[in-house]
C-alpha cells in the first residue's frame, strides 16, 4: 500500500483506497485528494493526522507568478495551488459546553506610532522568497590506514526478503546488485 499513486510502482493506477486506520501515523501518500471520514475518531490528534494526509503536496515543481506590489510588478517562482476535499472529519473533537451562539469579539486596540516617534516605527518587509548562498569553504577528507572498512559476505546477509502486510513478497539477492537494472 506504500506505493499507491506513485508512478512506475505497483499501486500507480489505484484511484481509491477504502480502509480503516490507514491514513494515520506512518502511512505516507502524497496523492490523497479526498478524505471521507465514516467512523468515529478517538482523539483530536487522530483527526489531525487523517486530515494531514490530504494536505501533502503532490508536486514541488514551482511555476512563475507575477504580482503587483505598490505599483511595481514582481515575478517570482511559487508552488501551484493544490486542494484537498475533506468530508466527515470533525475539526473540533469534543463539543464545547454551552449554547451555540458565538461570543461577541473582545474589544481590540489599534497599536500605532505617534507622529513624534515616526522614526522609531518598526516595519516589516514583504518577503518574496529566500536565497541560499553557499560559502567559499571547502570540505576536505583525510583518510588514514584505520579509515578502511572491509565488507564481505561472511558478515553481511546476501539474501533479504521484503514481505509487506499486503501483496507479494520480494526476495533480493546480492547478485541482483551486480546485474544491470531491469526496465
Condensed to tens digits (0 to 9), the pLDDT of residues 21-47 reads: 655 556 666 777 777 777 777 777 777
Flag whether 55 is in a domain: yes
Q: Which three cell numbers stand for residue 58?
A: 503532490
Only one residue has cell 537494472, namely 181
Flag whether 121 is in a domain: no
Grade residue 96 by pLDDT with cuts at 50, 70 and 90: very low
Flag whether 14 is in a domain: yes
Flag whether 43 is in a domain: yes
Flag whether 32 is in a domain: yes
Answer yes or no: is pLDDT of 93 > 60.
no
* Structural domain harbouring 90: 1-94+160-176
Number of structural domains in the chain: 1
Condensed to tens digits (0 to 9), the pLDDT of residues 52-86 reads: 776 777 788 888 988 888 888 988 888 888 877 77
Q: Which three cell numbers stand for residue 39?
A: 467512523
Distance CA 183, CA 181 (A): 7
pTM score, whole prediction: 0.38
Distance CA 85, CA 140 (A): 50
Angle at 100 between CA 95 and CA 102, to 5 degrees: 110
Flag whether 41 is in a domain: yes
Q: Give 3 or 147, the one with higher predicted confidence.
A: 147
Flag whether 42 is in a domain: yes
Q: What percent of the chain has pLDDT over 70?
A: 79
| Cβ proximity of 84 and 55 under 8 Å | yes
Condensed to tens digits (0 to 9), the pLDDT of residues 126-173 reads: 888 877 787 888 888 888 988 888 888 888 888 888 887 777 888 888
Only one residue has cell 513478497, namely 169
| Alpha-carbon dihedral angle through residues 66, 69, 74, 79, given to the nearest 10 degrees | -50
| Cβ proximity of 96 and 64 under 8 Å | no
Q: Where does residue 50 rank: exposed (0-12), middle (13-18), buried (19+ CB within 10 A)?
A: buried
Strand partners, 162: 170
Only one residue has cell 493526522, namely 49
Q: Give the best-scoring range by mean pLDDT among 30-39, 86-95, 105-114.
A: 105-114
Tally: H helices and E strands in the chain: 2, 6
Q: Which three cell numbers stand for residue 108?
A: 481590540
Flag whether 116 is in a domain: no
* Per-residue model confidence (pLDDT) at position 94: 46
Q: What percent of the chain has pLDDT over 90?
A: 0
Amino acid at each position: 500500500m506504500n506505493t499507491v499513486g506513485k508512478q512506475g510502482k505497483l499501486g500507480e493506477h489505484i484511484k481509491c483506497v477504502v480502509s480503516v486506520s490507514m491514513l494515520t501515523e506512518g502511512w505516507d501518500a502524497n496523492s490523497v485528494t479526498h478524505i471521507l471520514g465514516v467512523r468515529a475518531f478517538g482523539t483530536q490528534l487522530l483527526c489531525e493526522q487523517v486530515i494531514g494526509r490530504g494536505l501533502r503536496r503532490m508536486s514541488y515543481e514551482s511555476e512563475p507568478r507575477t504580482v503587483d506590489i505598490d505599483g511595481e510588478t514582481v515575478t517570482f517562482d511559487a508552488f501551484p495551488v493544490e486542494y484537498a476535499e475533506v468530508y466527515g472529519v470533525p475539526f473540533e473533537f469534543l463539543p464545547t459546553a454551552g449554547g451555540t451562539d458565538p461570543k461577541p469579539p473582545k474589544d481590540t486596540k489599534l497599536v500605532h506610532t505617534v507622529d513624534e516617534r515616526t522614526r522609531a516605527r518598526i516595519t516589516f518587509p514583504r518577503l518574496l522568497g529566500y536565497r541560499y548562498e553557499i560559502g567559499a569553504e571547502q570540505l576536505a577528507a583525510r583518510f588514514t590506514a584505520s579509515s578502511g572498512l572491509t565488507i564481505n559476505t561472511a558478515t553481511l546477509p546476501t539474501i533479504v526478503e521484503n514481505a509487506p502486510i499486503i501483496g507479494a513478497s520480494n526476495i533480493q539477492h546480492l547478485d541482483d546488485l551486480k546485474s544491470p537494472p531491469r526496465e
